[in-house]
Amino acid sequence: MDHLLQTVVAGLMLGGVYALIAVGLNLIFGVVKIINFAHGELVMAGMYLTWWLWSAWSVNPYLSLFIVTPVMFITGVAMQKFILSPMQNSSPTMKIFVTLGISVFLQSLALFLFGGQFRAVSFPWAEQNLNILGITVTYGRLAAFIVALALVLALFYLMKRTLMGKVLNALVEDRETAGLIGIPVKKYYLVAMGIGVGIAGIAGTLIIPFQAAFPLAGAHFTLLAFVVVVLGGLGNMVGSLIGGLILGIVETVAGTYIDPALQQVAVFIVFIIVLIVRPQGIFGGSARNAEVGLK
């Protein structure tokens, strides 16, 4: 029983980061109306940037958040302004192809710049164990969970309690009407994409102390993010948080009690069951409900 509890806690630690990744993806979908298939590669970019700051300049990986976050925010703004904005009125299929192209480009760029080797950050503090009531967790995973949860809650607050959040929700509801009443729609699309990509970069920084970066790492995170989003309901941020925690537990329990090679199989079995039993996601995820879920 103690071993099971230890495994579940480890899954929760990992699931918090998955939730953070999925919330960023959901924000982009809800506001900008683009399903970003390059989202995992942006997490990978955050991992590589953190690793480079650590290996080249000995920057503490957690302090590098203050560098990675603005860099990734600006990256998101640039993506929206120069690549996605011209495609804004195109068909959903074209938008998907564009983000897939960005995904392939980032994978190729990572392979060119860093090679195919695994790049890991060896940070002794993150690898130390902390014992709480008989449950052992590493400081790195605990820090990742706490920061991820804090950021998810901060984003909830932003969307519900601030003027910017109200504007973003107005764009979610009806961007044409929002434009007619004077809201600079394109400006807030830049903000939403910047926040979403910035969150992806932060997730990469939180992950790199205990998981190595490599050029294809992003594909894994993209798949997990979409599973979390569908489990919780497309566009529903609360659903993304809970879906991420569930996914982390399922993956860790399957890897511990079944076989590490079958972790992804277990995740997709749960995914398929949810789709069969509740296609709209655990917390609802029709196109309309998804938009309301961002409020």
- pLDDT string in tens for the chain (295-residue length): 678 899 999 999 999 999 999 999 999 988 998 989 999 999 999 999 999 999 999 999 999 999 999 999 999 999 999 999 998 888 888 999 999 999 999 999 999 999 999 999 988 999 999 988 788 999 999 999 999 999 999 999 999 899 999 999 899 888 888 888 899 999 999 999 999 999 999 999 999 999 999 999 999 999 999 999 888 877 678 888 999 999 999 999 999 999 888 888 998 898 888 888 887 777 765 434 443 345 4
Do 87 and 217 form a contact (C-beta atoms < 8 A)?
no
For 61, the 3-state DSSP assignment is: coil
In this structure, what are the phi and psi dihedrals at residue 91, rounded to the nearest 5 degrees?
-70, 155
Whether residue 61 contacts residue 50, with contact meaning beta carbons closer than 8 Å, is answered with yes
Sign of the dihedral through C-alpha 248, 74, 102, 62: negative
Backbone angles phi, psi at 138, to 5 degrees: -80, 150
As a whole number of angstroms, the distance between CA 26 and CA 233 comes to 9
pLDDT of residue 89: 83
Tokens of 129: 């164990």
Q: Would you state the pLDDT for residue 289?
A: 41
Query: For residue 285, what pLDDT is reported?
Result: 53
Handedness of CA 222, 223, 229, 233 (dihedral sign): positive
Whether the pTM exceeds 0.85: the reply is yes
Instruction: Identify the pLDDT of residue 230.
Output: 84
Residue 292 has what pLDDT? 37
Q: So where are the chain's domains? A: 2-292
Q: Are 203 and 24 in contact (CB under 8 A)?
A: yes
For residue 41, what pLDDT is reported?
98
Both tokens assigned to 246:
């569930």
d(CA 8, CA 255): 11
Residue 295: predicted pLDDT: 44
- The span from the CA of 248 to the CA of 266, in Å, is 11
Q: Phi and psi for 35 in degrees, rounded to 5?
A: -85, 110
Q: Which residues contact 21 (CB under 8 A, 6 or more apart)?
A: 39, 40, 43, 199, 200, 203, 221, 224, 225, 228, 244
Q: Are 147 and 68 in contact (CB under 8 A)?
A: no
Determine the CATH number of domain 2-292: 1.10.3470
